[in-house]
Structure 1
């Protein structure tokens, strides 16, 4: 009698959005602890959860079939490939937090993740310049390897005491925000229509103002600046369209890909807290900041609860749900 084993399902790269979003909301609560007096333990628990999710996802991803060849194919995948940038991005966020109580260890982690980020970003840009792709494969995740990674790198470098180099990374992030953002706007406006499963990646398009704002805040130690005024206005302008997209999000069907919305939510909340508590609004500013914390926590928490439901159904269901439905046929070609 022979027994057959079901092959371990591939873990798509966008699954790293779980640890990315968790680290984001951990940063929100840490900022709330510093500026609003929120319990520090909440932030620390969330940071620990982000670290566990990051390590588990890496281990699970590397224990997949196909070996190094499959990993390389994933990196070249036109839809899921850009999400590889989340691996060092999460590592950088964790290292920055560690640096607050273990400076040397944290700094080593920041430099290591920065090297990975820079290498992948350079390779990604090279691939963009030399490999034409179907416009239908472009989505908000294309901002991750260049824009998000550069701006997070700037924040990390500023935190560990390298403001000059951080300014260079900040400028790089803004440059690619303009370049890649313009390409994406043309793609969305001219079609084809973005598949329902990739709809949550529209949230990533709204992330740069907040991520840039948080980086500039650390670079300038929170000093008032016209830059913050410009970024705050831009952040609001980029976030407002999502109010009109709520019904489409709800109708699209839940998948792990919804974690693409969480870091934008958390980064915007973190920047919002900083701005609201730095104004002369007094009690109104504090109350508004708490509303921002609560709203971000509810959004991220709701996505986390829905994700738990998928994992309780079984690992195969969760892994399948992480892959955009419109892309599964092309994904099979990577195996």
Structure 2
């Protein structure tokens, strides 16, 4: 949820910059993202304090394990959102904490992957990309904050993990049983690594080149591929995993607007704003659906 809300805030922040206007919506979205993060982090901290065994079980779970880095990713996204709207020390603190926790999660998760004794191919799903996405986010705020070499370090980790996991995911979906309906929305996570890597690479490289173009168009292709299967997603019942639609769409929207910055081609601006409009509607729908599910006790139930 925080990734989706913060991604929406950053996308509108970029749109306002392109239009050279001040949008009162942006501070509200950033504030909402911070509020939701504090609320969810507080609840999870209470879970850790009162039910440590449950948290430990999640750290060993073949599916839930990959969602743990959403904590560090949320910190990194908040550091990006607040980069130009808060005192530098705020963004720096969030970035440093997020990057440190992200590295810890990456080392732990890759170690679990390497030495597991109970994972099966059907456990593999696109949520496994989440640890990789967190690493390629680091340069987006890291470069403006002056940490270029550290940013290259994290970017390299993310690209490595993305290339390996992409192969495994395609093997999984092509030659084994379909992904469970509860996790089907996580297919949209496929969009995030190339789209975020494109934005991060522009920060690191200082401009557009053939590698950046390849990253961007891979992200666009995956977006078109998933949109072409929209009827499959429309048939799904609501799960919290529907929030997986939000952040990837924010990433490709921002990437399109950054592509316009680099090329001046109006097509990319129109595409970016069209995706942003769609994203805004989806986040509003997700917020309402989540509130309804909470009210009807439709979440936090046994699987």
Range of TM-score over shorter length: over 0.9
Could you tell me how far 1:214 is from its partner in structure 2? 1.3
1:76 matched to 2:60? The reply is yes
Q: Give ranges in structure 1 of 5+ residues lacking alignment.
A: 1-17, 329-335
Match of 1:4 in 2: none
Larger Rg: 1
Is the alpha carbon distance of 1:131 and 1:103 closer, same or farther for their aligned partners in structure 2, counting shifts above 3 Å? Answer: same
List structure 1 segments (4+ residues) > 6 angstroms apart after TM superposition: none
Q: Match for residue 224 of structure 1?
A: 208
**Take 2:21 and 2:60, find their aligned partners in 1: how far apart are those partners?**
43
Aligned residues of 1:36 and 1:286 also touching (Cα < 8 A) = no
Q: 1:107 aligns with which of 88, 92, 103?
A: 92
Q: Does 1:137 align with 2:118?
A: no
Report Cα offsets for 1:103-161 as digits up to 9, x if no partner: 1232122111111110111010000000040111111110112x111101222311311
Structure 1 position 96, deviation (Å)? 3.1
Alpha-carbon distance between aligned partners in 2 of 1:24 and 1:97, rounded to the nearest angstrom: 8
Are the equivalent residues in 2 in contact too, given 1:79–1:138 (CA < 8 A)? yes
Equivalent residues of 1:140, 1:184 under 8 A apart: yes
Deviations 1:303-326 (A, max 9, x none): 22222222232xx32333xx7xxx
Partner SS for 2:2: helix
Any unmatched runs of 5+ in structure 2? Answer: none
Question: Partners in 1 of 2:196 and 2:212 — Cα distance?
Answer: 12
Q: Structure 2: how far apart are the matches of 1:156 and 1:186?
A: 34
Report how many residues are paired: 300
The structure-2 alpha-carbon separation of the partners of 1:256 and 1:35, relative to structure 1 and needing over 3 Å to count, comes to: same
Matched, 1:89 2:76: no
Contact 1:154 1:168 in 2 (8 A): no
Does residue 1:274 correspond to 2:258, yes or no? yes
Q: 1:285 to 1:20 in 2, by over 3 A?
A: closer
Q: Which residue of 2 aligns with 1:148?
A: 133
**Does 1:319 find its partner at 2:300?**
yes
TM-score, length basis structure 2: 0.92
Q: Report if aligned partners of 2:191, 2:222 keep a CA contact under 8 Å in 1.
A: yes
User: In the alignment, does 2:249 pair up with 1:265?
Assistant: yes
Aligned position for 1:195 = 180
1:43 aligned onto 2:26: yes
Cα deviation digits, residues 224-265 of structure 1 (max 9, x gap): 322221112111111111123211111121111100111101
Whether the 8 Å CA contact 2:188–2:245 is kept in 1: the answer is yes
Q: Among 267, 286, 289, which residue is 1:303 paired with?
A: 286
Per the alignment, do residues 279 and 202 of structure 1 end up closer, same or farther by CA in structure 2, a change over 3 Å counting?
same
- Preserved contact between residue 163 and residue 219 of structure 1 (Cα < 8 Å): yes
- In 2, distance between residues paired with 1:276 and 1:177? 25
- What corresponds to 1:333 in structure 2? none
> For residues 72-96 of structure 1, what are the alpha-carbon distances to aligned partners after superposition, in whole Å with 9 as ceiling and x for unaligned?
1111111112101000110111123
Q: 1:210 aligned to 2:195?
A: yes
CA contact (8 A) 2:8 2:250 kept: yes
Counterpart CA distance in 1 for 2:76 and 2:291 is: 26
Task: Please give the alpha-carbon distance, in whole angstroms, between the structure 2 residues aligned to 1:64 and 1:317.
Answer: 19
Instruction: Tell me: CA distance 1:57–1:139, structure 2 relative to 1, closer, same or farther (3 Å).
Output: same
* Superposed CA RMSD: 1.9
Tell me by how many angstroms 1:38 deviates: 4.9
